[in-house]
Homo-oligomer: A and B are copies of this chain.
Amino acid sequence: MIEELKQHYGYLFEDELLQEINNVGTYRDIPEGLKLIEIGDYIKSMPLLISGAIKILREDKEGDELILYFIEQGDTCAMTLSCCLGDSKSEIRAIAETDARLIMVPVQKMEEWLGKYKSWRNFVLQSYQNRMTELLEAIDTIAFLKMDERLFKYLKDKAMVNHNDVIHVTHQEIASDLHTSRVVISRLLKALEINGRIELHRNNIKVLDL
C-alpha cells in the first residue's frame, strides 16, 4: 500500500506525513460511473486520487447538468476541501469518469496536518489554486467559445483523461454534459465529421485531430 502512495505523492510529502496518511487513510477502488459526491452531501473525508479520472458537474434549477472539469491523478477535489473545512454542503457532483483508485483521509486529520506539515499546507493551497484555475478555464470555455468549439474541446479532454482517442459516449450524454440538446450535438458532430476532425459510430466517437 505504502509503495503506491509513495509513488504518487512521495514527491510532495515528507516520509512522516506519508506514513500518517497510510495509517489513517483507507484505500478504495471505484468503478467507472460511480457517483462519489452528490450536491448537498456533507463530506467527512477527503479523497486523494491515485489513478483514474473524476468528472465534476454543476446542476441548474431544473436538474440539468453542466460539466466543469475532470480531475486526474495527483489531484484532490478542492471542493471537498471547502466543504470539510467550512463544514458546508457540496456544491458539485463528482462521478468516476474511469475506474479509479483513491485514498480517503478523515477530515480531522486534514486540519491537524495543516498546522503540522508545511508540505500539506502547500498541497492544500496548491489544490485550491489548481481548482481555481480549472474553474476559470471552465468560465472561458462557456463564456467565450461557441458550441462547436466547446464540443470539440470536450471530446479532446475526454480522450485525454481516458488515454484513448475513441470515446465511448452517446450524443445524449454529451448534450447533458454541455447543457444543451441532443439535436444540437448531433448537428455539430456531423459538421465535425464532415470537416475530418472526428469519426462517428454508434456509441463511440474517434477523435482524429488531437
Contact = CB atoms under 8 A, between A and B. Distances in A.
A139 interface: yes
Interface stretch (A129-137, A161-169, A189-197): A129-137
Nearest to A124: B125
Contacts of A140: 58, 60
Contacts of A114: 121
A125 B115 CA distance: 13
Given A135-B139, A136-B58, A139-B68, A121 B129 contact: no
Most buried by B among A78, A88, A125: A125
B179 A144 contact: yes
A142 interface: yes
A101 B210 CA distance: 49
B132 A58 contact: no
A82 interface: yes
A146 interface: no
Q: How many copies of this chain are found per oligomer?
A: 2
Contacts of A88: 129
A78 B131 CA distance: 12
A184 to B, nearest CB: 15
A19 interface: no
Contact of A126 (B58, B86, B124, B125): B86
A46 interface: no
A132 B138 CA distance: 13
Contact of A128 (B82, B115, B179): B82
Rank and list the top 5 A-B pairs by shortest CB-CB distance, nearest first.
A82-B129, A60-B144, A128-B128, A135-B135, A86-B129
